Amino acid sequence: MSFIITLYVREGIVLASDSRTSLQAQQINQHGEPTVNFTVGLSDSNYKTFLAYNRIGISTFGQADINDIPITGFIESFISKEVNQDSITPDELALKILEHFRQYEPVPDTGFHVAGYTEENGILNQRIYKVEIALNKITLINNSIPPNIDIQGAGWDGETEVLTRLLKPTFLFDSDSKQFHKLPDVQIPWNFFNLQDAIDFAVFAIKTTIDSFKFQTRPKTVGGPIDVLVIKPNRAFWVSKKELRM
User: Any idea where the domains of the chain sit in the sequence?
Assistant: 3-240
| Nearest-angstrom CA–CA distance, 236 and 229 | 7
Q: Which of 68, 46, 69 is nearest to 59 (CA)?
A: 46
Q: Residue 206: what pLDDT?
A: 98
pLDDT band at 113; cut points 50, 70, 90: very high
- 235 pLDDT above the threshold of 90: yes
On average, the pLDDT of the chain sits at 89
User: Which H, E and C letters describe the chain, residue by residue?
Assistant: CCEEEEEEECCEEEEEECCCEEEEEEEECCCCCEEEEEEEEEECCCCCEEEECCCEEEEEEECCEECCEEHHHHHHHHHHHHCCCCCCCHHHHHHHHHHHHCCCCCCCCEEEEEEEEEEECCEEEEEEEEEECCCCEEEECCCCCCCCCCCCEEEEEECCHHHHHHHCCCEEEECCCCEEEECCCCCCCHHHCCHHHHHHHHHHHHHHHHHHHHHCCCCCCCCCCCEEEEEECCEEEEEECCCCCC
Residue that wins the pLDDT comparison between 227 and 30: 227
CATH superfamily, domain at 3-240: Aminohydrolase, N-terminal nucleophile (Ntn) domain (3.60.20.10)
Q: Residue 22: what pLDDT?
A: 75
Residue that wins the pLDDT comparison between 26 and 124: 124
End-to-end Cα, the chain, rounded Å:
26
**How far lies 76's CA from each of 5, 72, 138, 143, in Å?**
20, 6, 21, 28
Report for 37-41, 146-150, 174-178: range of highest mean pLDDT: 174-178
Report for 29-38, 100-109, 164-173: range of highest mean pLDDT: 100-109
What letter represents residue 142's amino acid? N
Q: Residue 31: what pLDDT?
A: 64
- 7 pLDDT above the threshold of 80: yes
- 26 pLDDT above the threshold of 60: no
Report for 83-87, 149-153, 213-217: range of highest mean pLDDT: 213-217
Residue that wins the pLDDT comparison between 127 and 39: 127
Q: Residue 225: what pLDDT?
A: 96
What residues are paired with 61 via a beta bridge? 111
Please compute, for residue 181, the number of CA atoms within 13 A of its CA located in the half-sphere on the CB side.
Answer: 8
Residue that wins the pLDDT comparison between 33 and 4: 4
What residues are paired with 39 via a beta bridge? 24
* 126-148 average pLDDT score: 88
What residues are paired with 172 via a beta bridge? 181
- 36 pLDDT above the threshold of 60: no
Is the pTM higher than 0.85? The answer reads: yes
Picking from 89-103, 108-122, 177-191, which range would have the lowest pLDDT averaged per residue? 177-191
pLDDT band at 29; cut points 50, 70, 90: low
Longest dimension (CA), the chain: 69
